[in-house]
Structure 1
Amino acid sequence: MKTWKKIIAAAGAAGLALSLAACGGSSAGGDTKLIVGASPNPHAKILRYVADNLAKKQGIELEIKEYTDYVQPNEALNSGDLDANYYQTVPYFDENTAKNNWQFDHGKGIHLEPLGIYSEKLKDIKDLKDGAKIGIINDPTNQARALKLLADNGLIKLPKDEKQQKVSVIAKSKEYNPRGFELPEVEGAQLVRALADLDVAVINGNFAQLGGKKPSEALILESTKNNPALNILAWKKDSEKVEAIKKLDTLLHSPEVKAYIEKTWPDKSVLPGF
């Protein structure tokens, strides 16, 4: 009889231990586990550096899930499948959270994949003639960014009304396009190939790289200063792991991560934004 009591007591203790382990939000060793969604490059690569070198010291364990589209990571965050995501810019975040009434929060900008103005005909943007063809991406979010880069460099002017900051408005206006540039809209992935028929084109960093262009070849490269296109870490406002998520955000803004970005992408295809 005593033997059975011992067995029952041992089984009860083991069950209690398993129950405690299951209820806890932490992984082995007391670390808080965060499941973070990210684009494969450079976001997931940066997160792996943090996971391998910095997270443990802050009591964080990272599980990184890669996504190749821009829709699923926010949907997965809202459903609770992710604790945070790292793949989007502030304008994209603002547009999507407002449209879907998502209760998300985000940190400050971490990195930028800069737009560049590229050409196969010119060596200096000063050589661009009036009436030249400037290729512009047809995606609305990135198009606004491309137009801003042109305006920041004195090539066009932007209407004060943001709703009017469109190629269709600017191209036909002597006020906003005094030099009479043609502004053909092109699929992002086709911009590098289209350079043969254009004088210059404003090309996103990822599409430039896919087309074999280096940021060092750009006539003008986008700056990180006060740039809303910096990529951010996002999370749900009511997350039970918000303390650990904010620790991760701090790590993503650390001197170590800045040095890692500069060392890993010396061609400036990825720039630290802090």
Structure 2
Amino acid sequence: MKNRKFVTVSLAAALAIGTIAANGVLVSADAKKGTIKVAASATPHAEILEEAKPILEKEGWDLEVTVFDDYVQPNLVVESGDFDANYFQHIPYLDNFNEEQGTHLVNAGGIHYEPFGIYPGTKKTLDELEDGDTIAVPNDTTNEARALLLLQDNGVITLKDGAGLEATVKDIKENPKNIQIEELEAAQVSRVKDEVAFVVLNGNYALQAGYSVSKDSIAHEASDSEAAKTYVNIIVVKEGNEDSEAVKALVDALKSDEIKDYINETYDGAVVPFEESTDDADAAKEETADDTADTDAAEDAE
């Protein structure tokens, strides 16, 4: 009976103090700040988010992660307000999506970079390519361009001048071996690897297919290239929410040393933590300052 009273008193005391145990860490009940709902691709995005949960929990946030297997719904559920953020895409895809769908989504922070790679199908090296062979690539605008640019960099095709990040198969200028480019939804590309000479894959789908960038890719984008800045995977939120306490906490957790170490130790070069250079940060500040100055000037002119 005495023991029972002791437990009751101890529990009451704990509640009076306002603390609860979470994964061995005492968190003030008053410090609980709410739930952050994030839509994500399964690999590596949702895995990285799972690693960030304890970091956010210590700060009073519950992180709720929902996995999506496409590139459309994660943006729509953030636009609708059903989710606070998503984590699956790079900036060119986001810009293209906003333009095509009329959405109002913005970049809240760059987290990692996934080198795009050429992987073996029925052929093991590009030297084995024969006339009429087929190479599978993603069919969405920015990722198809990225795949075609990588094939160009490795001498398979030549694109028209200026095709850049909007390149499609219609922009192929030279194709000496009459390579057939099979355009598929990004998640489907790896599934035809036994039917085509090569597949060109996003980093997350390469991981899901069991490929290692360092061991299996025939060629891939350099981690210190301009592509790393262009195709950094970002946290995306609806415009106006990028400076919210929840979103800032999420981005800070994902850019923490703990998460960087996890990424480097887990993904064998297929995922690389994104480090914004001082020059990039200064350029961003200058752009923001210019935008502010332009706005002020416009207001003064009214």
- Is the TM value for this pair above 0.5? yes
Give the aligned partner of residue 76 of structure 1.
77
Identity of aligned residues (%): 35
| 1:148, distance to aligned residue in structure 2 (A) | 1.6
| 1:37, distance to aligned residue in structure 2 (A) | 1.9
Check if 1:39 corresponds to 2:41. yes
Give the aligned partner of residue 152 of structure 2.
151
Give the aligned partner of residue 200 of structure 1.
198
Which residues in structure 2 correspond to 1:54-65 (within 5 Å)? 54-65=55-66
CA 1:131–1:258 in 2, change beyond 3 Å: closer, same or farther? same
Which residue, 202, 212, 225 being the options, matches 1:214? 212
1:107 match: secondary structure: strand
| 1:237, distance to aligned residue in structure 2 (A) | 2.5
| 1:64, distance to aligned residue in structure 2 (A) | 2.2
1:232 match: secondary structure: strand
**TM-score (normalizing by structure 2):** 0.67
| 1:206, distance to aligned residue in structure 2 (A) | 4.3
Give the aligned partner of residue 167 of structure 1.
169
CA 1:207–1:88 in 2, change beyond 3 Å: closer, same or farther? closer
- Unaligned runs of 5+ residues in structure 1 are 1-26
Which residues in structure 2 correspond to 1:251-262 (within 5 Å)? 251-262=253-264
**TM-score (normalizing by structure 1):** 0.73
1:110 match: secondary structure: strand
CA distance in 2, matches of 1:193, 1:63: 30
Which residues in structure 2 correspond to 1:1-274 (within 5 Å)? 28-33=29-34, 34-52=36-54, 54-119=55-120, 124-125=125-126, 127-128=127-128, 131=131, 133-141=133-141, 142-159=143-160, 160-162=162-164, 165-170=167-172, 173-174=173-174, 177=175, 179-187=176-184, 188=186, 191-192=189-190, 194-195=192-193, 198-215=196-213, 216-224=215-223, 225-227=225-227, 228-239=230-241, 242-266=244-268, 268-274=269-275
CA 1:190–1:62 in 2, change beyond 3 Å: closer, same or farther? closer
2:211 match: secondary structure: coil
Corresponding letter in the other structure for 1:111: H
2:96 match: secondary structure: helix
- Unaligned runs of 5+ residues in structure 2 are 1-27, 276-302
State the Cα deviation string for residues 14-45 of structure 1 (Å, max 9, x = none). xxxxxxxxxxxxx9432332222222322122
2:51 match: secondary structure: helix
Larger RCO of the pair (alpha carbons < 8 Å, separation 6+): 1
CA 1:206–1:62 in 2, change beyond 3 Å: closer, same or farther? closer
Please tell me whether the aligned partners of residues 111 and 233 of structure 2 are also in contact (alpha carbons under 8 angstroms).
yes
CA distance in 1, matches of 2:166, 2:103: 27
Number of aligned pairs? Answer: 240
Please tell me whether the aligned partners of residues 138 and 147 of structure 2 are also in contact (alpha carbons under 8 angstroms).
no
Corresponding letter in the other structure for 1:90: I
Q: Which runs of 4+ in 1 moved over 6 A?
A: none
1:238 match: secondary structure: coil
CA distance in 1, matches of 2:73, 2:197: 37
| 1:260, distance to aligned residue in structure 2 (A) | 0.5
Please tell me whether the aligned partners of residues 134 and 202 of structure 1 are also in contact (alpha carbons under 8 angstroms).
no
